[in-house]
Chains A and B, each alone.
Chain A
Amino acid sequence: MPEVKTRDFPAASAVSILDPQIRMALQRAGTGFDGGRRECIEEVTPQVWEEWREQARQTKLHTLDHLDYYLEMLEERVSANGGQVHFAADAAEANAIVADLVRTRGVRIATKSKSMVSEELNLNHMLESIGVDVYETDLGEYIIQLAEETPFHLVAPALHKSKEEVSRLFTEKLGVPPMDDINALAAAAREALRQRFLEADLGISGANFLVAETGTLVIITNEGNGRLCTSAPRIHVGITGMEKVIPSVQDLAVFLRLLPRSATGQRITSYVSMVSGPRKHDDEDGPEEFHLIVVDNGRSRMLADPDLREALMCIRCGACLNICPVYQKVGGHAYGWVYPGPIGSIVSPMLVGLDQASDLPQASSLCGACREACPIRIDIPRMLLHLRHKLAEEPDAGGRAKGTMPRPIANGFAKVMANPGLLSATRKFARAAQAMLLGSPISPLARGGRGIRKAGLPLLSKWTHSRDLPEIAPRSFGEIWKQELSNPDGER
């Protein structure tokens, strides 16, 4: 697995939030991707969109609830088509399967199209360590590979790189002259990779969907690199998570409508490729061998928890990232592992261990925008709360951040809120205290004028040092209601 830096979230986000280039890139993703998505919904009408979402959600729910059955069907059908399925319990095993293929088939050059699961495995690193030249071929992934970084976004891995940076990178790594035209940069990457495609022994791809019924791997791409990786080399290996399976080839219609629209605001991508096995005897071209590696790597932990199972319905469209007020400020790298954003804040803790990533479930305002945007209607906020609950209940799981409010204070707060008399008395007391403190020039609460900002309150400082403590209003809603709004005649 790649280095897990999820513990660094507070520090890393504090740095990235100040980076003007990241801010610009995130804004572009917001207006470009999310704006496009909204346009698409208007175009098909929100009503039809909701029907699609419901259909997709039901399909995913059904498949996950019977995942063993559909995985078995998938394995049988891929075999019947002449392909080979391998099951990997964890990253090490998945890598060993690939290493074994490399050794027994004498693989020297591999081309790779985009696969998030391979990032999870740190597959490139393993391949290089056994002497395989491996080339990412998706332009964004290629840039990331040259820069030795991890993806910044599920759909646009190099979103954070300016064209100047890409140009410097290409000059340094590919020896091409500096260029400031994006077309020229893309052409340089095309040139550098074209020959690799034709030389490669092994093509590696991820999968957007696996169709159980027909034993088919489906990938959705725009550049054509996915088509090349699955067509030109003599061996094709697909690597993907076990949750990608859907029952019928007819289910694809709705997913092909939802995914590109949610991801980039495209009605459909340039290419959709469906691989059901190695080439047949008489075919013009295509690989002689097809292998499919189905990876667990912690997914059965999510499957086993009914409160988190939903997270496995994710189709990695990135819509929840583009709309998240937290991701939109801190960007992808702050999350510290392969999967960023709201869905990453669930998936990463579950795959690397909640104790390693206890800050991620806190990195949300629970505003619900992600659930709104998600084409599968995945209830991300509910699961984030569930993880927070777990952290609070099982202090050991938290390692460090066991919630930000000490337990006795939280208990006291709950007691006060549940008792109207007590609440009213507490409010009166607090109002008096506030008037006194705000009036005093030496008060720690008075910084920044009237508001109570970033108050370093004793005992509560963890809660308040990065949150504004709202000033208590002169009259409570209850009082306003009583005095002005309620209707004594009992009519409305």
Chain B
Amino acid sequence: MAEATGTPKSEFLASVRRALGRQAGPPQTEYPRLAQGIEQLEDQAREVRERVQANRGALLDKLAEVAQLRGWQVRRTPDPEEAMDYVQSLADGQGANRVVRSRQEVFEAVPLDATLTGMGITVTEVAHGEGASRESLREQIAMSGMGITGVDYAIAETGSAVIVPRRGLGRLVSLVPPVHVALVRPDDVIESLDDLFLMRRLEYMRNGGDMGPYLNFITGPSRTADIEQTIVVGVHGPKEVHMVLLG
């Protein structure tokens, strides 16, 4: 590992302590959130799952509504065939001849490859190893007109798709192609930001202090209003984002 440069940690912390006029050590009363241990979080997470389970229909309605307001083009269908038709029509409209997708469970329910290949589109599953290097995959992604992924969570409160990158789920698939399609299963839906961060914290504790190096919220297309406060979509990320809600 790299060496720390700059002011040594002990010296830096000592100067902060001097400024505060306090001694080293934890706060007198522990910060309430940090005081909650794994058992309490497990209990709370169970409550969240029960609540989400009980309200799934309403949460899906809300997700669809809010996501639309935040700039997603939402297509809701429980039928995998219809979902595939939709993606096919998108690819058709785009005139995309290359598509990249992640390697995730959702593609077993929605096996898109055959459909797209049948249209003469080259589909690349982005997962390194087995002959595919990271560099070559990156090139594939850069050349593709569309990236398709599943999501780890979809938040009804904000209309966000949350992706936790890992093997088979690269960061760039949902970022570099001009069109991103997110396939959302009913099980992915949670209600709020509080639910999400509770789950993440639990995950971190369960894994002994690890929740993966990256997490990304996606809420609508890439956009800017940096010139004359006029909104432009598709700056460095996708200009078009579609949420296919499978329920």
A residues lining the B interface (CB < 8 Å): 25, 28-29, 32, 62, 65-69, 71-72, 75, 77, 79-82, 84-89, 93-94, 96-97, 100, 137-140, 143, 156-159, 161-163, 166, 182-183, 185-186, 189-190, 193-194, 197-198, 213-214, 222-225, 227-228, 230-232, 242, 247-253, 256-257, 264, 267-280, 282-286, 289-291, 293-294, 296, 300-301, 303-304
Shortest CB-to-CB span from B240 to chain A, Å, is: 13
Shortest CB-to-CB span from B226 to chain A, Å, is: 4
CA distance A242 to B217 in the complex (A): 25
Shortest CB-to-CB span from A75 to chain B, Å, is: 6
Given contacts A68-B20, A268-B158, contact A163 B228 (CB under 8 A): yes
What is the size, in residues, of chain B's interface with A at 8 Å between Cβ atoms?
86
Q: B175 to A231, Cβ gap below 8 A?
A: yes
CA distance A143 to B222 in the complex (A): 18
CB of B13 within 8 Å of the partner chain: yes
Q: B216 to A272, Cβ gap below 8 A?
A: yes
The 9 closest A-B pairs by CB, nearest first: A224-B237, A284-B170, A140-B226, A87-B12, A224-B236, A272-B217, A253-B193, A304-B19, A300-B19
Enumerate chain B residues within 8 angstroms of A71, measured Cβ to Cβ.
12-13, 16
Q: A284 to B167, Cβ gap below 8 A?
A: yes
Q: A268 to B217, Cβ gap below 8 A?
A: yes
CA distance A64 to B191 in the complex (A): 31
Q: From residue 185 to 226 of chain B, which have CB atoms closer than 8 A to chain A?
A: 192-194, 196-198, 200-201, 204, 209-226
The residue among B13, B19, B213 with the most chain A CB atoms within 10 A of its own CB is B213
Enumerate chain B residues within 8 angstroms of A183, measured Cβ to Cβ.
232
Given contacts A86-B4, A186-B227, A303-B20, contact A250 B201 (CB under 8 A): yes
Enumerate chain A residues within 8 angstroms of B19, measured Cβ to Cβ.
300-301, 303-304
Shortest CB-to-CB span from B38 to chain A, Å, is: 13
CA distance A77 to B237 in the complex (A): 30
CB of B53 within 8 Å of the partner chain: no
CA distance A163 to B229 in the complex (A): 10
Identity of the chain A residue whose Cβ is nearest the Cβ of B194 in the assembled complex: A253
CA distance A264 to B238 in the complex (A): 21
CA distance A360 to B15 in the complex (A): 28
Q: A100 to B5, Cβ gap below 8 A?
A: yes
CB of B172 within 8 Å of the partner chain: yes
Enumerate chain A residues within 8 angstroms of B17, measured Cβ to Cβ.
68
Shortest CB-to-CB span from B231 to chain A, Å, is: 9
Q: Mostly helix, strand, loop or mixed at chain B's interface? A: loop
CA distance A32 to B168 in the complex (A): 41
CB of B127 within 8 Å of the partner chain: yes
Of A72, A252, A280, which is within 8 A of B197 by CB? A252
Q: A72 to B70, Cβ gap below 8 A?
A: no
CB of B142 within 8 Å of the partner chain: yes
Enumerate chain A residues within 8 angstroms of B21, measured Cβ to Cβ.
304
Q: B236 to A223, Cβ gap below 8 A?
A: yes
Would you give 5 A-B contacts (Cβ < 8 Å), ordered by A? A66-B20, A79-B1, A158-B227, A224-B236, A300-B15
Given contacts A186-B235, A267-B70, contact A222 B223 (CB under 8 A): yes
Of A68, A81, A140, A247, which is within 8 A of B16 by CB? A68
Known: A81-B213, A214-B211, A223-B237. 20 other contacts (CB 8 A): A62-B27, A68-B22, A69-B24, A139-B227, A182-B230, A182-B232, A186-B234, A193-B236, A224-B237, A227-B216, A247-B31, A268-B70, A269-B219, A271-B222, A272-B160, A272-B216, A273-B217, A277-B213, A283-B167, A304-B20
CA distance A77 to B211 in the complex (A): 11
Of B6, B165, B204, which is within 8 A of A96 by CB? B6
CB of B51 within 8 Å of the partner chain: no
CA distance A180 to B188 in the complex (A): 43
Q: B226 to A85, Cβ gap below 8 A?
A: no
Q: B237 to A227, Cβ gap below 8 A?
A: yes
CA distance A143 to B230 in the complex (A): 15
CA distance A225 to B175 in the complex (A): 10
Q: B214 to A89, Cβ gap below 8 A?
A: no
Q: A276 to B232, Cβ gap below 8 A?
A: no
Identity of the chain B residue whose Cβ is nearest the Cβ of A303 in the assembled complex: B19
Shortest CB-to-CB span from A121 to chain B, Å, is: 12
Enumerate chain B residues within 8 angstroms of A162, measured Cβ to Cβ.
228
Q: A214 to B165, Cβ gap below 8 A?
A: no
- The proximity string for B residues 124-163 relative to A, scoring 1 for CB distances below 8 Å and 0 otherwise, is 0011100000100110001000000000000000111000
Q: B172 to A232, Cβ gap below 8 A?
A: yes
CB of B46 within 8 Å of the partner chain: no
CA distance A267 to B156 in the complex (A): 13
